[in-house]
Amino acid sequence: MPRIFVTRPFADEGINMLKAKKYQVDVYEHDEVIPRKELLKRVVGCDALLSLLTDKIDAEVMDAAGSSLKIIANYAVGFDNIDLAAAKERNIVATNTPSDDVNRSVAEHAFALILALAHRIPESDTYARAGRYKGWSPNNLIGTDVEGKTLGIVGLGRIGMSLAKKAVHGFGMKCVYADMRRNKEFETEFDARQLPLDQLLKVSDFVSLHVPLLPSTKHLISTEQFALMKKTALLINTARGPVVDEKALLRALRTKRIAGAGLDVYECEPAIDCDMSDKLELKQFTNVVLTPHTASATIEARQAMSRVAAENIIAVLTGNDPINPAK
């Protein structure tokens, strides 16, 4: 009987699918990141490892599992936590969990950050709760509309395209994008233009990041890029934290080089700030909206991720190709 080790409890649909196949499913009992020693102990002899993005799955883990390990199914769209080269050397399949549900949820969250910043909703909430609201004022907490503004999408994958649909068709925004590949169909549907990144940064009112974390995308947005952006521009990051150089972002906020940022991910996650000694904190800026890596935290998205992870495991353990190979 194949044995599956799951590194943390999560949405149950996928777990139930694996149990229905009569697999032995061993789930780490605690709702926390599994300690390294416990991970190395629990993977021994498993046929499939269902991991989370918070788990570092490297050669040591794969060797601890042994020759029985056939698949690492990552419960995430991203897979920068897995050493793909080490997996390939050991003939272990690695998969991820993209789905329409996840794309939609992350895109909705990105747009929620856009609206929250544009209309200064968190600031207004804090203001009202603090008892500072004494009556209507024509000049209080002035924000900006999004209709007619330009949204720059960096990385035109499925999430980026889902965001464009909401922004252009739903809210009347204009759209430009930066990507390695041109998408003429997208351009036609959304009246969009492909631009080099530096040009996109110059013309965009909102810049939303949707690239994977690769050596080429680490600190993709840094001091040079902030210098190109409009002073009224707002940055949104629901991709991966290290895509943005945190030090450069803090300087851009402090000097009012940009108007604000909406962040769901952080360079030194789970820490919100990498360096507390510099007395600059993202949390101190009222024009920064922070969410705790919850862009895909909807019932629909998390159940879909669970199902896709299980489908990948079932496919590989029954001798078929994975549905979503990580590559």
User: Active-site residues: which are they?
Assistant: 240, 269, 293
Burial 82-101 (b: 16+ CB within 10 A, else e): bbbebbeeeebbbbbbbbeb
How far separated are the first and last CA of the chain, in Å rounded?
Answer: 29
Name the residue with tokens 């029954």. Answer: 318
User: In the block, which residue shows the tokens 């840094």?
Assistant: 222
Residue 208 near residue 179 (C-beta atoms within 8 A) = no
Query: What are 308's two structure tokens?
Result: 């896709």
Question: How does strand 150-154 pair with strand 206-209?
Answer: parallel
In the 3-class helix/strand/coil scheme, how is the chain assigned residue by residue? CCEEEECCCCCHHHHHHHHHCCCEEEECCCCCCCCHHHHHHHCCCCCEEEEECCCCECHHHHHHHCCCCCEEEEECCCCCCECHHHHHHCCCEEECCCCHHHHHHHHHHHHHHHHHHHCCHHHHHHHHHCCCCCCCCCCCCCCCCCCCCEEEEECCCHHHHHHHHHHHHHHCCEEEEECCCCCHHHHHHHCCEECCHHHHHHHCCEEEECCCCCCCCCCCECHHHHHHCCCCCEEEECCCHHHECHHHHHHHHHCCCCCEEEECCCCCCCCCCCCHHHCCCHHHCCCEEECCCCCCCCHHHHHHHHHHHHHHHHHHHCCCCCCCECC
